[in-house]
Each structure stands twice: as structure tokens, then as C-alpha cells.
Amino acid sequence: MNRKQFFLSIILASIIGGLIAVAGVGLLSPSEKVTTFEQKQNTSFVNWLKDDKFNVPDGINFVASADQVLPAVVHIKSKVTMQRRGRSGNPLEEFFEFRYPDGGQQPPREGMSSGSGVIISDDGYIVTNNHVIDDAKEIQITLYDNTNYDAKVIGTDPTTDLALLKIDASDLPFVPFGDSDKTKVGEWVLAVGNPFDLTSTVTAGIISAKARNIGILRNENNNLQIESFLQTDAVVNRGNSGGALVNLAGELVGINTAIASQTGAFSGYAFAVPSAIVKKVMDDLLKYGTVQRGLLGIQIQDVSVAKQYLDLDTKANQGVYVDQVNEDSGAEEAGLQKGDIIIEVDGVETTNVSKLQEMVARKRPGDRVALKYLRDGKAQETTATLKNISGTTKVVKKAELKATEFESVTFKDLEVSLQEHLEIEGGAVINEIDNDKWEEAGAREGFVITHVGRDRVSGADDLKNKLQRNKGEEVMILGFYPNGQKSYFEIKLDN
């Protein structure tokens, strides 16, 4: 090849490469609605380390992965309501567990909580733990370069302790999703977050175990919680919650969520929500605003536990024992029966309840799962169609919360998750106050009103109707602060 041919070949290659790039962008044009984070990540031409030929450098060099991930992990500060200590002098208040704002128990004060988050798209979507932003009035995001943004909550899922936030920014670095299924016990990982407000901290460890259930979500949302954590010995402390657990290719394999500790500080093991669950939950929150939870409709326990208490006649030591099959459920339609032992879901060995929950949690209502199970010691197979909590295969829509105004105070219906958290039905939350009289009486933004006098409040409209019927009267408003503290105040309504 002569010199002229050489330069012509370079020019031709450049033209062809440009055409391919343009065609690739065209395939994902703005007119095509993006509904998954895989699509959002694929539309951004960023230089990450995802390469089938990627090899861990000699001596285990963590520098490349840390450099890739650090700019995409953010510091989250949330303004929350904190309960004051002290006792009221009124024995009736103590007995009924309600506190009068002007008595010995003052209304909760405002405080700040701190955690971490991971940017998962260049247009400002951030994943974190639900407990990092739970009950927050304001959420502030600080990027790696110390730029600050206010964030809004796109959606939350207490059953997996995950939340999706959004900031108004563009061209941001982000962490691509990795495949948590491919992680192996003994594999090196990095934890990146903001422990003790020490921003942009990187620690290293290995995957210590998979599909761990540690019982931290057991009382949330009617036992629909999903705990199938990756366990790691990478150092994680308070403030790491919501931060990234990544492999040495700089890919997100988990969201750091909890530690095993009797002191509140790291004692050797930490736990992360696997990326397979994170990605599915984030896609649901992006597309639907709420998580689409597919259910088999069975009550289960580890077969090893069942053998201890039920005197089972089985040689199986691993698997998931079916203790009950709900009527009209996908499991019943698939032919599952009490006493069956599920050993595989979609071809993946299922040794315990955590693994089964993880596999099913990746699905939506209407999806089908292949099940392999033991009945009377013989292996059988079936396919079940998952249903939602209402027993149908329809997409669950995010409830639109009604808002109304009375005396320049805005009230909103209460989200179902907060109703469940407070163990109440109905209620209305004070969303905004522009009335000094109400504030002086003890009303606070975020206060959940459950009763006007003896009358229970079913929602925002019902609250407004009750207040209008009592115009010119002094009424007692009873309810909860978001942290669960009961309280009340008295207010003289205008005519």
C-alpha cells in the first residue's frame, strides 16, 4: 500500500464510522419513548470499562474502576422531621399517646439525614435507598464536583428499600448496570459512598455470599418485602446507604443498603440490593411511577426450616417448601399444591426463599415463570402466570393523590405506603401552610391528620368538608407526624 492509498483508507474509515454513529443515534431518536434505563444508558456514548476482554490488572488494581465510578456517586442530604425527647405533664395525653404542641412535648424538630446515591443516566436519574429519603421534606444532591441540585422523588419501593430521584441536569457521568447474577462468591468489589459525611470514599472487599435475608424489611408492606442481598466485606458505614457496589469493570452490581452490626458501625459484613432487582425496580418507577409486583400467590419457607417443625418426609435439604397456595392465584392455576418443594425458577437453582423472591421480583403481572418442584420425591415442571396483589394481570397504576385547600392550607391524600407505615386507613397530610394562625396553633407541613374531633378523616376532600361544617368553631385536629409520633392541636376556624 503506497502513501496515498494509506491516507485514503484512513479517510474512508472515518466516513464509515461517522455514518454508523449517526445511524445508531437515529435508531434511538427522541420520538421513540425511552422506558428502561438500559435504553437510556445505551443512548449515551460514554467511555466505560465494559469489555468482554477486560482483565483484572496484575496485583488487583482498583484504580480504573474507582476513577470510573467516583464521579457518578452523589451525596444526598434530606431534611426530615425528628422527634423531640421529653414527657408531657398531662397523664391523659400520655395514656392516649397524643402530645399537645404547647405542652411538655414539643412538635418534632427538623433535622438532616445523609446518605449516598448513584447516577444511572446522563439526564439526572439517581437510585438510592428508600430509607435515605423517607419522609424527607427537601432533598439536596451534591455531585462529585460539589455542584448542588434539588431533587424530586420519581417513585419509591419500601419492599426493596429503593427509590428513584431526578435532578435537572444533563451530560452527567453515570454507572452502567452490571449483571449481579454473574457475580461470584470471592469476586472483588468496591463500595463507593459517603460514610460519616466523608464524601467520595472507596473501600474494597469481596462478595462474601449471595441471596442473604437479614430480616430488616420484615414488617413492611404486608410481607411483600424482598430481601436477597449480596453480602460483602467491603467496609460500609452510616452514610454509605444508597451508594454503589461495583465490580472491577466499573459496573453496578448492587446498591449498598445495610450492615450487620451490634454497635451501629461496620463489623465485617455489609449487604447490597443486587443490580438485577435494582434495574427492574428503577425501570418500573420510570415507566409506571410505581413498582409492578408479580406474585405467585403462595406462602413459603425454606425446606430446611420446614423439616425441623413439620416433620417432613423428604430427602431434600435445599429448596422452598410450599406451605399454602392461595385461591385463584397463578400458583393454583399452575397446579402447585401444599407440600411441593420448589427447586428451580426459570432454570436457576432456587435453594431458599430469598432466591425465589428475587427471581419472581424481576417479573411483572402477566409474566410467566417456569418452575421445577418436587412432589413425593419426584421432580415435576410447570409454568405459572404471575398476578398483581389484586389478583389480575393488569398493570398497577400509580394513584393520583387529590389535593385541596382550606384557609390557605393545602391538604393532600395520603400515599398508601405511608398509610401502611402508620398503620392507618385514609387520612390527609398538610402539604403547604400559608396561614400564620394554623402555624401558631401547631400545624406543621408533613403532619398527617386522621381525625377532626371524633370524626375520622378518609382523605383530603373529606377533611375540607369537615372543616367547612365547623366554620366559626374551635376544633381539635388529631394525627401523626411522619415519624409515627402522635400529636394534636386546636384551631379556631374562620366564619
Spatial distance between the Cα atoms of 91 and 99, rounded to a whole number of angstroms: 10
127 neighbors 103 (Cβ within 8 angstroms): no
Task: Please count the CA atoms within 13 angstroms of the CA of 433 that sit on its side-chain side.
Answer: 15
131 marked as binding residue: yes
241 marked as binding residue: yes
The residues facing 319 across adjacent strands are none
Residues known to be catalytic: 131, 161, 241
Spatial distance between the Cα atoms of 255 and 184, rounded to a whole number of angstroms: 17
211: three-class secondary structure by DSSP: strand
**What DSSP letter does each residue of 250-299 carry, written as one string?**
S-EEEEEEEEE-SSSS--SEEEEEEHHHHHHHHHHHHHTSS----B--EE
Residue 143 grid coordinates: 455531585
Distances in Å between the Cα of 278 and the Cα atoms of 36, 127, 283, 317, 466 are: 12, 8, 9, 30, 43
**What DSSP letter does each residue of 356-372 carry, written as one string?**
HHHHHHT--TT-EEEEE
409 neighbors 315 (Cβ within 8 angstroms): no
Question: Residue 53: what are its φ and ψ, rounded to 5°?
Answer: -100, 10
**What DSSP letter does each residue of 1-57 carry, written as one string?**
--HHHHHHHHHHHHHHHHHHHHHHHHHT-TTSPP-SHHHHHHTS-------TT--PP
Nearest residue to 49 via CA among 187, 249, 252: 249
115: three-class secondary structure by DSSP: strand
223 marked as binding residue: no
164 neighbors 170 (Cβ within 8 angstroms): no
Nearest residue to 270 via CA among 242, 250, 290: 242
161 marked as binding residue: yes
129 marked as binding residue: no
Sign of CA dihedral 170, 180, 362, 293: negative
Spatial distance between the Cα atoms of 70 and 158, rounded to a whole number of angstroms: 27
Annotated binding site: which residue ranges? 131, 161, 239-241
Which residues line the annotated binding site for substrate? 131, 161, 239-241
